[in-house]
Structure 1
Amino acid sequence: MNMNDVIGKITGKKKSEPVIGIDITNEAVIISQLRKTKNGIELEKLVSASTPQNAIRDGEIIDTGSVAQVIQELMEKNQIVATKALTTVSGQAVIIRTIQFPSMSPKELKEVVLHEAERYIPFAMEDVNVDFQILEEIEDEGINKVEVLLVAAQKQFINSYVETFVIAGLKLIGIDVASFAVARALSSVENGSLGSGEPIVLVLIRGETTDINVFQNGMPKFSRSIPIGSTTFIETIATNLSVSLEEAIQIFDKVVVPLAGQNVSDDQMVELASNEIRTTLRELTTEIQRSLDYYQSQGSERVQQLILCGRGAKIKNLDKHLSMNLGLDVEISNPISNIQFDEQKYSAEYLMDNAPVFVTSIGLAKRGVEEF
């Protein structure tokens, strides 16, 4: 399969047919549909359903049939009429590297990048799809260079998504990197590309992983994935409190990061859970700090702002905790501020409360209206 068909596709022919964004994790399937109006971009559809248990493992869709059924049921129930879709891969299923090469012709650059890719990809080349994009031309000590974004994904992961969409009766016209979809959702005409001027770090906490990405002037500068996600917190609660996974999910949605002098909750189980997640929270905070330390050790400009995304961003006080421990301005992602919506269909409170969870799907749908 040609990687250009599934990852890193930057341009496309304009189509009037809607292209929906479908974000799939081991926790939820989320579908977004946007449309262009004379006043901007408007939300048409935004729906979600739980992912069948054990259907996804380590980023790969194991039970393609059951996930496809969830997609079909969501579309039928909510009258979503579309035949084309975009989706994402994230976590350890995808390798992202930013590399510099001496300036050369496009043909030469392609040969060099694909040859050098072996140095950066910890898998056999025959087992991965590889693509690259030129980010910018730079001058380093009098030498003209190009900065290249290298993206690689294991074929077994890509194939599991392709198969799922075939079963669901949809044409998968592109597979994006989740953090890139988030960056698109958070960019706007008024505010420009993500990280305009100073670099910004996106921390996408969802499912089985957390993706840490630094963007500057809309371009990815650093990427790392760690095996700690919202599912990690939920499983910790289930194990340590001896409750079912379903109960742990309900408790997780109420947990609070304990801050000095603050009462966590009047609910005893929530208070216990809030204390049980301390170790996982400490590990997550440490890994974010390590990532930023490494990024800045390469001579990069200091990061001052962090944006929290994904289901993990809904943990109460997590933004305050990270701000205090990392010394950064921390905010929770809000893609809703960049789009219009009908308040008779979607309440502002509901959208704002779930904005960090919907951000990836909205970014995909935004690409759908802007590029296809």
Structure 2
Amino acid sequence: MITRLHQVPLPENAARRGEVVELSTVTSALKRLWSAGGFKAKNVVLGMGGSRVFARDFTVPRQPLNLIRESLPFQVQDLLPVPVSDVLLDFYPIQEEEGEQGPVVKGLLVAGVKEAITANVTAAMSAGLRPLHVDLIPFALSRAIAPIRAGRGPEVIVAIGANTTNVVVVDHGVPQFVRIIPNGGEDITRAIASRLQWAPEQAENAKRAVGMGGPMLRAEDRPVLEIIYEVTGELLGSIRSTLSYYTGTTPLQPVQRILLTGGGAQLSGLANALGELTGLPVTVAEPLSNIALPRTKADQRLSREQLDGFTTAFGLALGSHA
């Protein structure tokens, strides 16, 4: 059961791709959120994603987890696009197996740029909150969405947000593979606004109304549709390439279906397009559909899009730090 949930909007450019840009603005928003939402606890878990967080497959000789983590700075520079001194590192173990030279641990190397993480932690602390740890958003998504699984074998969560798309292969609730694509639903809105010289709100409304087309499409909507197809096509191509890479490296564990979620996934026609491109069945996930929620004012039901906005927070709340 979720006892409290609330959200407040952030002014444009206060945060960019999941990173705090205007510290005072985000701090004020967090204070409003806590007050308006009636939250009492101050302990929080922060989720990180975006272009300055990396997750890579990584295998190391078997040893205690604390020793693996201590050794990471000396082993992983070749896997990172930035100097190892600029990142915070962690290791998420998946399974043990026998390697050519003895037992090994297969897992995921997680690296986040210190500057980005520090900015988010500082904003939370400035608002009077106590960050207990920083979690990877794809891990939070797997906790929130994986319990609704119904198929056998690995499934892939594709969470299309405003600025990033998280691709997480999950097998029996355990993340096996993570990629963060630096594109999302707002890229479509920005492209429409820029090319047609429209205000962002007009571009967003047009995107929602036109989607990926349909029998009722008007002739005047075609310029919008062409932009949507172009930008969405690039994103879907990146998702397909990511899944092809996973399949190529793990041929004995093929993905069985796609669980689609996120605000960007609400674009009409997108689920069908993703299914046709990948050849996989696509299920639109509703992770909070079976969770008891607090009543809203006037007992209004939250829309599916609003509930999607809480998925990451729900997964972060479910998590525990190893």
Q: Same fold (TM over 0.5)?
A: yes
Give secondary structure in 2 for the equivalent of 1:294: helix
Instruction: Pick one of 188, 195, 211 that aligns with 2:166.
Output: 211
Deviation at 1:110, TM superposition (A): 3.9
After superposing the two structures, state which structure 1 stretch, 86-95 or 247-256, moved more.
247-256
Structure (1 or 2) with the greater strand fraction: 1
Deviation at 1:233, TM superposition (A): 0.9
Q: Which whole-Å CA distance do the structure 1 matches of 2:81 and 2:110 have between them?
A: 12
Give secondary structure in 1 for the equivalent of 2:166: strand
* Compared CA separation, residues 268 and 148, structure 1 to 2 (3 A): same
Is residue 2:270 matched to residue 1:311? no
1:129-159 C-alpha deviation (Å, 9 max, x unpaired): 1111322112356953211321110010011
1:317-342 C-alpha deviation (Å, 9 max, x unpaired): 21111111211111222111341125
Structure 1 unaligned segments of length 5 or more: list them: 1-41
Q: Which whole-Å CA distance do the structure 1 matches of 2:103 and 2:85 have between them?
A: 32
Is residue 2:319 matched to residue 1:364? no
Q: Which whole-Å CA distance do the structure 1 matches of 2:92 and 2:298 have between them?
A: 37
* Compared CA separation, residues 82 and 181, structure 1 to 2 (3 A): same
- What amino acid maps onto 1:355 in structure 2? L
The equivalent residue for 1:297 is 248
* Compared CA separation, residues 207 and 142, structure 1 to 2 (3 A): same
Deviation at 1:183, TM superposition (A): 0.9
Q: Map 1:177-326 onto structure 2 (within 5 A).
A: 177-188=136-147, 197-258=152-213, 262-265=214-217, 272-300=223-251, 301-326=253-278
Instruction: Pick one of 41, 50, 53 that aligns with 1:94.
Output: 53
Is residue 2:125 matched to residue 1:170? no
1:160-202 C-alpha deviation (Å, 9 max, x unpaired): 10111122111111221111111111243xx5xx698411112
The equivalent residue for 2:84 is 125
Q: Which whole-Å CA distance do the structure 1 matches of 2:66 and 2:316 have between them?
A: 30
The 8 Å contact of residues 310 and 358 in structure 1, kept in 2 or not, is answered as no
Q: Which whole-Å CA distance do the structure 1 matches of 2:210 and 2:132 have between them?
A: 38
Q: Which whole-Å CA distance do the structure 2 matches of 1:126 and 1:55 have between them?
A: 27
Is residue 2:286 matched to residue 1:327? no
Q: Which whole-Å CA distance do the structure 1 matches of 2:291 and 2:94 have between them?
A: 27
Is residue 2:24 matched to residue 1:65? yes
TM-score (normalizing by structure 2): 0.89
* Compared CA separation, residues 310 and 346, structure 1 to 2 (3 A): farther
- What amino acid maps onto 1:202 in structure 2? I
- What amino acid maps onto 1:232 in structure 2? D
The 8 Å contact of residues 108 and 177 in structure 2, kept in 1 or not, is answered as no
Q: Which whole-Å CA distance do the structure 2 matches of 1:174 and 1:106 have between them?
A: 17
Structure 2 unaligned segments of length 5 or more: list them: none
Ranked by relative contact order (alpha carbons within 8 Å, sequence separation 6 or more), the top structure is: 1
Q: Which whole-Å CA distance do the structure 2 matches of 1:234 and 1:324 have between them?
A: 24
The 8 Å contact of residues 101 and 147 in structure 1, kept in 2 or not, is answered as yes
The equivalent residue for 1:46 is 5
* Compared CA separation, residues 148 and 274, structure 1 to 2 (3 A): same
The 8 Å contact of residues 128 and 153 in structure 1, kept in 2 or not, is answered as yes
The 8 Å contact of residues 206 and 224 in structure 2, kept in 1 or not, is answered as yes
* Compared CA separation, residues 98 and 348, structure 1 to 2 (3 A): farther
The 8 Å contact of residues 206 and 229 in structure 1, kept in 2 or not, is answered as yes
User: How many pairs were matched up?
Assistant: 321
Give secondary structure in 2 for the equivalent of 1:324: helix
- What amino acid maps onto 1:296 in structure 2? T
- What amino acid maps onto 1:326 in structure 2? T
The equivalent residue for 1:5 is none
Deviation at 1:91, TM superposition (A): 1.8
The 8 Å contact of residues 196 and 218 in structure 1, kept in 2 or not, is answered as no
Is residue 2:109 matched to residue 1:157? no
Give secondary structure in 1 for the equivalent of 2:209: coil
RMSD: 2.7
1:194-236 C-alpha deviation (Å, 9 max, x unpaired): 6984111122211222222212222222222222211101101
Give secondary structure in 2 for the equivalent of 1:287: helix
The 8 Å contact of residues 94 and 105 in structure 2, kept in 1 or not, is answered as yes
Give secondary structure in 2 for the equivalent of 1:92: coil
* Compared CA separation, residues 163 and 92, structure 1 to 2 (3 A): same
The 8 Å contact of residues 196 and 217 in structure 1, kept in 2 or not, is answered as no
Is residue 2:292 matched to residue 1:340? yes
Give secondary structure in 2 for the equivalent of 1:148: strand
Give secondary structure in 1 for the equivalent of 2:8: strand
Q: Which whole-Å CA distance do the structure 1 matches of 2:204 and 2:8 have between them?
A: 14
The 8 Å contact of residues 264 and 274 in structure 1, kept in 2 or not, is answered as no
- What amino acid maps onto 2:284 in structure 1? I
The 8 Å contact of residues 83 and 169 in structure 1, kept in 2 or not, is answered as yes
The 8 Å contact of residues 333 and 356 in structure 1, kept in 2 or not, is answered as no
